[in-house]
Amino acid sequence: MTETMSGQSAGALEEGEGVNRSLWGDVRYELARKPLFWVSLVLVLVILTMAFFPQLWASESPNARGACDLSNARGKPTWDHPFGYTASGCDMWASLVWGTGKSVILAILVTAGTTVLGVLLGTAAGYYAGTTDTIISRITDIFFGLPFILGALVFLALFPERNVYTLTLVFVVFGWTSLTRVMRGSVIATKQKDYIDAARALGASNMFIIRKHVIANSIAPVIVLATIALGTYISAEATLTFLGVGYQRPAASWGLLVAEGQTLALAGFWHLLVYPCAFIVITVLAFILLGDVLRDALDPRNR
Protein backbone atom coordinates (compact mmCIF):
# COMPACT_ATOMS: atom_id res chain seq x y z
CA MET A 1 0.00 0.00 0.00
CA THR A 2 2.82 2.36 0.83
CA GLU A 3 4.22 1.62 -2.59
CA THR A 4 1.16 2.92 -4.35
CA MET A 5 1.14 6.01 -2.18
CA SER A 6 4.75 6.99 -2.74
CA GLY A 7 4.01 7.74 -6.38
CA GLN A 8 5.79 6.79 -9.51
CA SER A 9 8.62 9.31 -9.60
CA ALA A 10 9.87 8.53 -6.09
CA GLY A 11 9.75 4.82 -6.78
CA ALA A 12 11.66 5.23 -9.99
CA LEU A 13 14.32 7.33 -8.29
CA GLU A 14 14.87 4.74 -5.58
CA GLU A 15 15.20 2.09 -8.23
CA GLY A 16 17.94 4.18 -9.81
CA GLU A 17 19.73 4.45 -6.49
CA GLY A 18 19.53 0.70 -6.02
CA VAL A 19 21.29 0.09 -9.30
CA ASN A 20 23.91 2.70 -8.73
CA ARG A 21 26.30 3.70 -6.01
CA SER A 22 26.65 6.62 -3.67
CA LEU A 23 29.91 8.11 -2.41
CA TRP A 24 29.73 6.20 0.88
CA GLY A 25 28.58 3.07 -0.86
CA ASP A 26 31.69 3.30 -2.99
CA VAL A 27 33.87 3.84 0.05
CA ARG A 28 32.39 0.82 1.82
CA TYR A 29 32.84 -1.35 -1.27
CA GLU A 30 36.40 -0.12 -1.74
CA LEU A 31 37.28 -0.80 1.90
CA ALA A 32 35.56 -4.15 2.22
CA ARG A 33 37.71 -5.79 -0.42
CA LYS A 34 40.99 -4.71 1.14
CA PRO A 35 42.45 -7.24 3.61
CA LEU A 36 44.73 -4.53 4.96
CA PHE A 37 41.65 -2.56 6.00
CA TRP A 38 40.24 -5.48 8.00
CA VAL A 39 43.56 -6.19 9.69
CA SER A 40 44.11 -2.58 10.70
CA LEU A 41 40.46 -2.12 11.68
CA VAL A 42 40.52 -5.14 14.00
CA LEU A 43 43.78 -3.97 15.55
CA VAL A 44 42.48 -0.44 16.05
CA LEU A 45 39.23 -1.73 17.59
CA VAL A 46 41.18 -3.98 19.96
CA ILE A 47 43.38 -1.05 20.95
CA LEU A 48 40.39 1.25 21.44
CA THR A 49 38.53 -1.23 23.62
CA MET A 50 41.70 -1.69 25.66
CA ALA A 51 41.92 2.06 26.04
CA PHE A 52 38.33 2.62 27.12
CA PHE A 53 37.35 -0.73 28.67
CA PRO A 54 40.56 -2.30 30.00
CA GLN A 55 38.54 -4.58 32.30
CA LEU A 56 37.41 -6.51 29.21
CA TRP A 57 40.97 -7.60 28.52
CA ALA A 58 42.50 -7.83 31.97
CA SER A 59 40.18 -8.19 34.92
CA GLU A 60 42.41 -6.66 37.54
CA SER A 61 44.02 -3.25 37.42
CA PRO A 62 47.69 -3.33 38.38
CA ASN A 63 46.91 -0.39 40.65
CA ALA A 64 44.34 -2.38 42.64
CA ARG A 65 45.25 -3.28 46.16
CA GLY A 66 47.11 -6.55 46.25
CA ALA A 67 47.35 -6.83 42.49
CA CYS A 68 51.10 -6.72 42.50
CA ASP A 69 53.37 -8.86 44.52
CA LEU A 70 56.97 -7.79 44.88
CA SER A 71 58.02 -11.38 45.16
CA ASN A 72 57.05 -11.72 41.50
CA ALA A 73 59.16 -8.69 40.45
CA ARG A 74 60.81 -9.13 37.04
CA GLY A 75 59.27 -12.57 36.82
CA LYS A 76 59.95 -14.13 33.44
CA PRO A 77 57.11 -15.29 31.19
CA THR A 78 55.54 -18.59 32.17
CA TRP A 79 52.63 -20.59 30.68
CA ASP A 80 50.27 -19.04 33.20
CA HIS A 81 51.61 -15.55 32.67
CA PRO A 82 52.98 -15.46 29.11
CA PHE A 83 53.91 -11.82 29.46
CA GLY A 84 55.73 -12.18 32.74
CA TYR A 85 55.80 -9.62 35.53
CA THR A 86 56.93 -6.01 35.65
CA ALA A 87 59.82 -4.70 37.70
CA SER A 88 57.42 -4.02 40.54
CA GLY A 89 55.83 -7.44 40.42
CA CYS A 90 52.61 -6.59 38.56
CA ASP A 91 51.30 -8.75 35.77
CA MET A 92 52.82 -7.36 32.54
CA TRP A 93 49.70 -8.05 30.44
CA ALA A 94 47.46 -6.21 32.90
CA SER A 95 49.91 -3.31 33.11
CA LEU A 96 50.04 -2.98 29.34
CA VAL A 97 46.26 -3.19 28.94
CA TRP A 98 45.59 -0.67 31.68
CA GLY A 99 48.32 1.57 30.30
CA THR A 100 46.75 1.67 26.83
CA GLY A 101 44.23 4.32 27.79
CA LYS A 102 46.80 6.85 28.91
CA SER A 103 48.81 6.54 25.70
CA VAL A 104 46.03 6.16 23.15
CA ILE A 105 43.60 8.74 24.52
CA LEU A 106 46.41 11.28 24.63
CA ALA A 107 47.34 10.52 21.02
CA ILE A 108 43.73 10.78 19.87
CA LEU A 109 43.17 14.07 21.69
CA VAL A 110 46.39 15.54 20.32
CA THR A 111 45.65 14.38 16.78
CA ALA A 112 42.14 15.81 16.93
CA GLY A 113 43.44 19.10 18.33
CA THR A 114 46.26 19.53 15.85
CA THR A 115 44.09 18.50 12.90
CA VAL A 116 41.32 20.96 13.74
CA LEU A 117 43.83 23.74 14.34
CA GLY A 118 45.87 22.85 11.27
CA VAL A 119 42.87 22.64 8.95
CA LEU A 120 41.38 25.92 10.19
CA LEU A 121 44.60 27.93 10.14
CA GLY A 122 45.96 26.29 6.98
CA THR A 123 42.71 26.91 5.11
CA ALA A 124 42.49 30.51 6.26
CA ALA A 125 46.10 31.17 5.25
CA GLY A 126 45.86 29.39 1.91
CA TYR A 127 42.46 30.66 0.85
CA TYR A 128 42.53 34.28 1.94
CA ALA A 129 46.26 34.75 1.20
CA GLY A 130 47.68 38.27 1.68
CA THR A 131 47.95 39.57 5.23
CA THR A 132 46.08 36.64 6.81
CA ASP A 133 48.56 34.27 5.22
CA THR A 134 51.57 36.33 6.28
CA ILE A 135 50.48 36.46 9.92
CA ILE A 136 49.59 32.77 10.17
CA SER A 137 52.68 31.64 8.26
CA ARG A 138 55.10 33.68 10.37
CA ILE A 139 53.57 32.35 13.60
CA THR A 140 53.85 28.85 12.15
CA ASP A 141 57.50 29.49 11.31
CA ILE A 142 58.25 30.60 14.86
CA PHE A 143 56.68 27.46 16.36
CA PHE A 144 58.29 25.33 13.67
CA GLY A 145 61.67 26.52 14.86
CA LEU A 146 61.10 24.99 18.29
CA PRO A 147 62.11 21.34 18.39
CA PHE A 148 59.18 19.19 19.55
CA ILE A 149 60.84 16.99 22.14
CA LEU A 150 63.02 19.75 23.56
CA GLY A 151 60.15 22.24 23.66
CA ALA A 152 57.83 19.72 25.28
CA LEU A 153 60.57 18.80 27.75
CA VAL A 154 61.05 22.41 28.83
CA PHE A 155 57.34 23.18 29.10
CA LEU A 156 56.35 19.97 30.84
CA ALA A 157 59.08 20.43 33.43
CA LEU A 158 57.25 23.63 34.44
CA PHE A 159 53.97 21.88 35.23
CA PRO A 160 53.72 20.69 38.82
CA GLU A 161 51.20 18.04 37.84
CA ARG A 162 51.26 16.26 34.51
CA ASN A 163 48.10 14.50 33.38
CA VAL A 164 46.42 13.80 30.06
CA TYR A 165 45.21 17.42 29.72
CA THR A 166 48.51 19.15 30.34
CA LEU A 167 50.28 16.69 28.05
CA THR A 168 47.65 17.25 25.34
CA LEU A 169 48.03 21.01 25.64
CA VAL A 170 51.79 20.89 25.28
CA PHE A 171 51.66 18.37 22.41
CA VAL A 172 49.11 20.45 20.49
CA VAL A 173 51.10 23.65 21.00
CA PHE A 174 54.18 22.03 19.52
CA GLY A 175 52.46 19.79 16.98
CA TRP A 176 50.03 21.97 14.98
CA THR A 177 52.61 23.55 12.69
CA SER A 178 53.34 20.77 10.22
CA LEU A 179 49.66 20.06 9.59
CA THR A 180 48.99 23.77 9.10
CA ARG A 181 51.77 24.01 6.54
CA VAL A 182 50.62 20.96 4.62
CA MET A 183 47.01 22.19 4.64
CA ARG A 184 48.02 25.65 3.47
CA GLY A 185 50.01 24.29 0.54
CA SER A 186 47.23 21.91 -0.38
CA VAL A 187 44.61 24.68 -0.23
CA ILE A 188 46.70 26.97 -2.43
CA ALA A 189 46.90 24.22 -5.04
CA THR A 190 43.15 23.56 -4.82
CA LYS A 191 42.20 27.22 -4.92
CA GLN A 192 43.56 27.60 -8.42
CA LYS A 193 41.36 24.85 -9.83
CA ASP A 194 38.65 25.76 -12.32
CA TYR A 195 35.91 24.22 -10.23
CA ILE A 196 36.48 26.88 -7.60
CA ASP A 197 35.82 29.52 -10.26
CA ALA A 198 32.88 27.45 -11.47
CA ALA A 199 31.44 27.38 -7.96
CA ARG A 200 31.85 31.14 -7.70
CA ALA A 201 30.19 31.51 -11.08
CA LEU A 202 27.27 29.56 -9.64
CA GLY A 203 26.94 32.11 -6.88
CA ALA A 204 28.54 30.15 -4.03
CA SER A 205 29.76 32.17 -1.04
CA ASN A 206 33.34 32.03 0.24
CA MET A 207 32.32 29.99 3.28
CA PHE A 208 30.48 27.47 1.10
CA ILE A 209 33.42 27.17 -1.28
CA ILE A 210 35.78 26.64 1.64
CA ARG A 211 33.58 24.12 3.41
CA LYS A 212 32.65 22.02 0.42
CA HIS A 213 35.12 22.47 -2.37
CA VAL A 214 38.38 23.58 -0.82
CA ILE A 215 38.51 21.42 2.31
CA ALA A 216 37.17 18.30 0.61
CA ASN A 217 39.82 18.54 -2.08
CA SER A 218 42.78 19.45 0.06
CA ILE A 219 42.32 17.42 3.23
CA ALA A 220 43.70 14.08 1.94
CA PRO A 221 47.38 14.78 2.72
CA VAL A 222 46.38 16.11 6.14
CA ILE A 223 44.45 12.92 6.97
CA VAL A 224 47.45 10.81 6.06
CA LEU A 225 49.84 13.01 7.99
CA ALA A 226 47.50 13.09 10.99
CA THR A 227 47.27 9.30 11.21
CA ILE A 228 51.03 9.01 10.97
CA ALA A 229 51.31 11.73 13.59
CA LEU A 230 48.90 9.82 15.84
CA GLY A 231 51.43 7.02 15.91
CA THR A 232 54.29 9.34 16.60
CA TYR A 233 52.41 10.96 19.50
CA ILE A 234 52.15 7.57 21.14
CA SER A 235 55.89 7.16 20.85
CA ALA A 236 56.47 10.79 21.86
CA GLU A 237 54.48 10.17 25.03
CA ALA A 238 56.62 7.12 25.68
CA THR A 239 59.77 9.16 25.03
CA LEU A 240 58.80 12.00 27.33
CA THR A 241 57.62 9.64 30.05
CA PHE A 242 60.88 7.73 29.67
CA LEU A 243 62.73 11.02 30.08
CA GLY A 244 60.75 11.70 33.22
CA VAL A 245 58.51 14.57 32.10
CA GLY A 246 55.49 12.60 30.86
CA TYR A 247 53.05 10.68 33.00
CA GLN A 248 53.93 10.24 36.63
CA ARG A 249 53.64 7.13 38.74
CA PRO A 250 51.41 5.52 39.83
CA ALA A 251 49.73 6.07 36.44
CA ALA A 252 50.38 3.15 34.14
CA SER A 253 51.56 4.06 30.70
CA TRP A 254 53.61 2.35 28.02
CA GLY A 255 56.31 4.96 28.30
CA LEU A 256 56.71 4.26 31.99
CA LEU A 257 57.02 0.54 31.33
CA VAL A 258 59.66 1.14 28.66
CA ALA A 259 61.55 3.43 31.00
CA GLU A 260 61.46 0.73 33.65
CA GLY A 261 62.49 -2.03 31.29
CA GLN A 262 65.32 -0.18 29.62
CA THR A 263 67.78 -0.56 32.50
CA LEU A 264 66.93 -4.19 33.16
CA ALA A 265 66.64 -5.53 29.61
CA LEU A 266 70.36 -6.04 29.19
CA ALA A 267 70.51 -7.82 32.50
CA GLY A 268 68.49 -10.64 30.94
CA PHE A 269 64.95 -9.39 31.64
CA TRP A 270 64.20 -8.85 27.94
CA HIS A 271 60.45 -9.15 28.35
CA LEU A 272 60.39 -5.91 30.36
CA LEU A 273 61.40 -3.98 27.24
CA VAL A 274 60.15 -6.11 24.37
CA TYR A 275 56.46 -6.30 25.30
CA PRO A 276 55.86 -2.59 25.90
CA CYS A 277 57.80 -1.75 22.73
CA ALA A 278 55.79 -4.30 20.75
CA PHE A 279 52.54 -2.72 21.95
CA ILE A 280 53.73 0.71 20.88
CA VAL A 281 54.91 -0.48 17.47
CA ILE A 282 51.73 -2.45 16.72
CA THR A 283 49.49 0.45 17.79
CA VAL A 284 51.38 2.99 15.71
CA LEU A 285 51.37 0.66 12.71
CA ALA A 286 47.64 -0.07 13.03
CA PHE A 287 46.70 3.61 13.00
CA ILE A 288 49.02 4.42 10.10
CA LEU A 289 47.68 1.53 8.03
CA LEU A 290 44.08 2.48 8.73
CA GLY A 291 44.78 6.07 7.75
CA ASP A 292 46.39 4.95 4.54
CA VAL A 293 43.51 2.70 3.42
CA LEU A 294 40.95 5.33 4.40
CA ARG A 295 42.72 7.95 2.34
CA ASP A 296 42.77 5.66 -0.70
CA ALA A 297 39.11 4.77 -0.34
CA LEU A 298 37.91 8.33 0.25
CA ASP A 299 39.54 9.68 -2.88
CA PRO A 300 37.30 8.91 -5.87
CA ARG A 301 40.13 9.77 -8.24
CA ASN A 302 41.94 6.59 -7.23
CA ARG A 303 39.19 4.34 -8.52
Interaction site with another protein (CB under 8 A): 9-10, 12-13, 15-17, 19-23, 193-195, 197-205, 208, 212-213, 216-217, 299-301, 303
What's the closest the beta carbon of residue 45 comes to another protein, in angstroms?
Answer: 27
Question: Closer CB to another protein, residue 112 or residue 204?
Answer: 204
Question: Closer CB to another protein, residue 19 or residue 267?
Answer: 19
What's the closest the beta carbon of residue 219 comes to another protein, in angstroms?
Answer: 10
Question: Closer CB to another protein, residue 170 or residue 209?
Answer: 209
What's the closest the beta carbon of residue 299 comes to another protein, in angstroms?
Answer: 7
Residue 289 and residue 36 in contact, taking contact as beta carbons nearer than 8 Å: yes
Question: Closer CB to another protein, residue 125 or residue 164?
Answer: 125
Question: Closer CB to another protein, residue 108 or residue 204?
Answer: 204
Question: Closer CB to another protein, residue 201 or residue 282?
Answer: 201
What's the closest the beta carbon of residue 33 comes to another protein, in angstroms?
Answer: 19
What's the closest the beta carbon of residue 297 comes to another protein, in angstroms?
Answer: 12
Beta bridge partners of 91: 85
What's the closest the beta carbon of residue 195 comes to another protein, in angstroms?
Answer: 4
